[in-house]
Amino acid sequence: MHISRFITHQLEAGLQHPYIHILFGARQTGKTTLLSDLLTPDLAYNFADPEDRSRMLAQPGLFRRECEALPVDQGRKTIFVDEAQLVPLVLDAIQVLYDRQPERFCFVLCGSSARKLRESGANLLPGRSLLHRLQPLMLAERPGPGGYAPHVADLPVNAFKPTLEPANDLVERMAFGDLPGIFRAPPELRESLLRSYATIYLEEEIRREGYVKDWGAFLNFLKLAAMESGQCLNYAKIARETGLSQPTVKSHYQLLEDMFVGFRVQAFTQSSRKNLLGHARFLFFDLGVRHAAAGLRPVADTVLATPGSCFEQWVGMELHRRISYANRGRLHYFRTRDGMEIDYILEQDDQWIPIEVKWTEHPDPKDARHLKTFLAEHPGNTSEGYVVCRCVRPAKLAPNITAIPWWML
């Protein structure tokens, strides 16, 4: 089953220009599959393969020499490097080759962690590279029962033609998540594949990073971080329950971000209110992986035990993916100490779009009361708000507030 990816047209356009292309994303988001569809490389390296990795580590100049051995008179040569972060010194060779002859080579790198590249001194080749991020599937790539009709995120959707995939229902999406390999797998295998992701892929990736000293304590942290996904970061609580220091807990959260396994939603602070909460929220990048990492079964019963929380996280993940691809905007949440709360505020070009997430099938004006207050308090930067829910079709809850079905997000 082929899945069209939103980022494909960006990569195709970018590959026409003589830059170094770096594609980042968590494991199993489909980086290698996507690049395999787009590229016919003259040289390919997979540093997840111990043999390839050992050759380069043992002979630091070998990568450059093999590239220079390619014929000079047969057009620009494409060099593909998978899991580039495992041999970060290769970037030095790429920089030298590119600076000498920028038109001779097209370098395409992909990786699932930015930490080693950054901490090794590799500067991600500023001025020479284009960075791309691949996310789990968006609604546009996996349309719902009404098709794709974006309302709150201004993306260049006309450049994308989604594949006509089966329209799985919302509970199934929230149970199994949006990784392409899980989506395409037979339903009876998805649960075991997600458990393997949490216990094998994540462990393998984290061990490669080499930053975790106490593996047992880290596994406890990972489980608690997954359980707390969607909540405000509480380093003291996690530290107490794992026996780790708060600085170590903070470092572990940063590791998850560097591996693209999670992201922060910062508190909204551009308000005249004095009682705002300022702690960031942390969300896992995929709900299916979150369930498995938390030790929960990725099944409908898990979702329906806390449907509101799961739905709120799922909407946040969808918005985060769109912002990442658009390379425009920021995502916030709004909460005050006296109980006013808005799940997400999408900031784009000095405009703020407040979004409430409700599990209800029958939204009413009471669901929009905090949106009304926010819109009234920020008239210069806001014009409309949304309640994302499970209603059948859009409905006006107030003159500038609309309830929309989840699949029209």
Place of tokens 């708000």: 385
Q: Rounded to whole angstroms, what are the CA distances from 227 to 37, 309, 310? A: 36, 11, 11
Q: For residue 120, what pLDDT is reported?
A: 57
* CATH 3.40.50.300 residue spans of the chain: 8-133
Q: For residue 156, what pLDDT is reported?
A: 46
Contact status, residue 388 vs residue 404, Cβ threshold 8 Å: yes
Structural class in CATH, domain 8-133: alpha beta
Measured CA to CA, the distance from residue 255 to residue 249 in angstroms comes to 10
Instruction: Report the chain's terminal Cα–Cα distance, integer Å.
Output: 25
Q: Which class for 22: exposed (0-12), middle (13-18), buried (19 or more C-beta within 10 A)?
A: buried
The average pLDDT across 315-334 equals 92
Q: Is residue 403 predicted with pLDDT exceeding 80?
A: yes
11-20, 119-128, 334-343: the lowest-pLDDT one:
119-128
SS3 call for 247: helix
Q: For residue 97, what pLDDT is reported?
A: 92
64-78, 197-211, 331-345: the lowest-pLDDT one:
197-211
Q: What is the DSSP letter of 58?
A: H
Measured CA to CA, the distance from residue 48 to residue 236 in angstroms comes to 36
- Answer whether 0.75 is exceeded by the pTM: yes
Q: What is the DSSP letter of 279?
A: P
Q: Spell out the alpha helix ranges (H) of 72-130.
A: 90-100, 115-119
Place of tokens 């939103």: 6
Q: Is residue 211 predicted with pLDDT exceeding 60?
A: yes
Q: What is the mean pLDDT of the chain?
A: 87
Q: Is residue 210 predicted with pLDDT exceeding 90?
A: no
Q: Spell out the alpha helix ranges (H) of 231-379.
A: 235-242, 246-258, 287-293, 300-305, 307-326, 369-377
Side-chain-side CA neighbours of 245 within 13 Å: the count stands at 4
Q: Is residue 292 predicted with pLDDT exceeding 60?
A: yes
The average pLDDT across 280-293 equals 97
Residue 376 vs residue 337, higher pLDDT: 376
Q: For residue 124, what pLDDT is reported?
A: 62
The average pLDDT across 171-178 equals 95
Token readout for 211 is 């930053």
166: confidence class by pLDDT, cuts 50, 70, 90: very low
Instruction: Please give the helix or strand (H or E) that residue 334 lies within, else none.
Output: strand 330-335
Contact status, residue 22 vs residue 133, Cβ threshold 8 Å: no
